[in-house]
Structure 1
Amino acid sequence: MSDSAAASDWVNPLRDSTDKRLPHIAGPCALVIFGVTGDLARRKLMPAIYDLANRGLLPPGFALVGFARREWTDEDFANVVLEAVKDGARTKFRQDVWERLAEGIRFVEGSFDEAEAFQNLSETLATLDNERGIGGNHGFYLAIPPNAFPQVLEQLSASGLAQAEDGQWRRVVIEKPFGHDLESARELNAVVNKVFPEDTVFRIDHYLGKETVQNILALRFANQLFDPIWNAHYVDHVQITMAEDIGLGGRAGYYDGIGAARDVIQNHLLQLLAFTAMEEPISFEPLNLQAEKIKVLSATRLAEPLDETTARGQYEGGWQGGLPVVGLLEEEGFAADSTTETFAAITLEVDTRRWAGVPFYLRTGKRLGRRVTEIAVVFKRAPHLPFDKTMTEDLGQNALVIRVQPDEGVTMRFGSKVPGSSMEVRDVNMDFSYGQAFTESSPEAYERLILDVLLGEPSLFPVNAEVELSWEILDPVLEHWAAGGKPEPYEAGTWGPPSADEMMQRTGREWRRP
Structure 2
Amino acid sequence: MSPVNITADFNPLRLLSDRRLNRIAGPSGLVIFGVTGDLSRKKLMPAVYDLANRGLLPPGFALVGFARRDWEDQDFAKVVYDAVKQYARTPFDEDVWTQLAQGIRFVQGEFDDAAAFGRLKDTIEELDRDRGTMGNHAFYLSIPPKSFPEVTERLRDSGLAEQKNGEWRRVVIEKPFGSDLKTARELNSVVESVFPPDSVFRIDHYLGKETVQNILALRFANQLYEPIWNANYVDHIQITMAEDVGVGGRAGYYDGIGAARDVIQNHLLQLLALTAMEEPVSFDAADLRAEKEKVLSAVRIPQDIGKHTARGQYTGGWSGGEKVVGFLEEDGMNPDSTTETFAAIRLDIDTRRWAGVPFYLRTGKRLGRRVTEIAVVFKRAPQYLFAESQTSALGQNALVIRVQPDEGVTIRFGSKVPGAGMQVRDVTMDFGYGHAFTEASPEAYERLILDVLLGDPPLFPRHQEVELSWKILDPIEEFWATQGKPEQYRPGTWGPSSADELMARDGRTWRRP
Normalising by structure 1, we get a TM-score of 0.97
* C-alpha displacement of 1:167: 1.2
Contact 1:29 1:138 in 2 (8 A): yes
Deviations 1:19-39 (A, max 9, x none): x86701100101000000111
Displacement after TM superposition at 1:385 (Å): 1.8
Give the secondary structure class of the aligned counterpart of 1:423: coil
**Which segment is superposed worse, 422-431 or 247-256?**
247-256
**What letter corresponds to residue 414 of structure 2 in structure 1?**
G
Show the counterpart of 1:461: 460
Instruction: State the 1:5 CA deviation.
Output: 5.1
In structure 2, the CA distance between the partners of 1:49 and 1:9, relative to structure 1 (3 Å rule), is closer
Alignment of 1:13-162 (within 5 A): 23-162=22-161
1:17 aligned residue: none
CA distance, structure 1, for counterparts of residue 353 and residue 469 of structure 2 = 20
- Cα distance, 1:384 vs. partner? 1.4
**2:309–2:346 contact (8 Å) kept in structure 1:** yes
1:420–1:9 distance in 2 versus 1, CA, 3 Å? closer
Distance 2:146 2:334 in 1: 23
| Structure 1 match to 2:321 | 322
Q: Between Structure 1 and Structure 2, how many residues are aligned?
A: 509
**Pairwise mapping of residues 218-229 of structure 1 onto structure 2 (< 5 A)?**
218-229=217-228
Match of 2:502 in 1: 503
Residues 175, 30 of structure 1: CA spacing in aligned structure 2 closer, same or farther, 3 A cutoff?
Answer: same
Give the Å deviation of 1:304. 2.8
In the alignment, residue 281 of structure 1 is paired with which amino acid? Answer: P
Partner Cα distance (1:435, 1:444) in 2: 14
Change (3 A) 1:262 1:438: same
Deviation of the 1:322 alpha carbon = 1.4
| DSSP-derived class of the 1:250 partner | helix
Where does residue 406 of structure 1 map in the other structure?
405
* 1:347 matched residue in structure 2: 346
Question: Hey, what's the Cα distance between the residues in 1 that align with 2:21 and 2:185?
Answer: 38
**2:141–2:171: 8 Å Cα contact kept in structure 1?**
yes
Cα-to-partner distance string for 1:217-268 (whole Å, 9 max, x where unaligned): 0000000000110000000000000000001121111100100000000000
* Unpaired stretches in structure 2, ≥5 consecutive residues: 14-18
Moved more, 316-325 or 292-301: 316-325
Q: CA deviation at 1:133?
A: 1.0
Aligned to 1:388: 387
| Separation in structure 2 between the aligned mates of residue 10 and residue 274 of structure 1, nearest angstrom | 42
Deviations 1:126-147 (A, max 9, x none): 0110111111001000000011
Name 1:424's counterpart in structure 2. 423
Amino acid at match of 2:110: S
Structure 1 residue aligned with 2:469: 470
What amino acid does structure 2 have at the position aligned with 1:32? V
2:271 maps to: 272
Deviation at 1:8, TM superposition (A): 8.0
Corresponding residue number in structure 2 for 1:251? 250
Aligned residues of 1:411 and 1:430 also touching (Cα < 8 A) = yes
**Alignment partners' CA distance in 2, 1:404 and 1:163:** 39
List 4+ stretches of structure 1 deviating above 6 A: 8-14
Show the counterpart of 1:206: 205
TM-score by length of 2: 0.97
- Cα RMSD over matched residues? 1.7
Q: For 1:217, give the aligned amino acid.
A: L
Partner of 1:362: 361
Please state whether the residue corresponding to 1:33 is helix, strand or coil.
Answer: strand
Residues 12 and 25 in structure 1, CA contact (< 8 A), matched pair in contact too? no
> Post-superposition shift, 1:209?
0.4
Q: Distance in 1 between matches of 2:224 and 2:23?
A: 30
SS in 1 for 2:249: coil
Paired letter, 1:143 = S
What does residue 16 of structure 2 align with?
none
**Match for residue 440 of structure 1?**
439
The CA distance in 2 between the partners of 1:227 and 1:461, in whole Å, is 24
**Conserved? CA contact 2:10–2:55, under 8 Å:** no
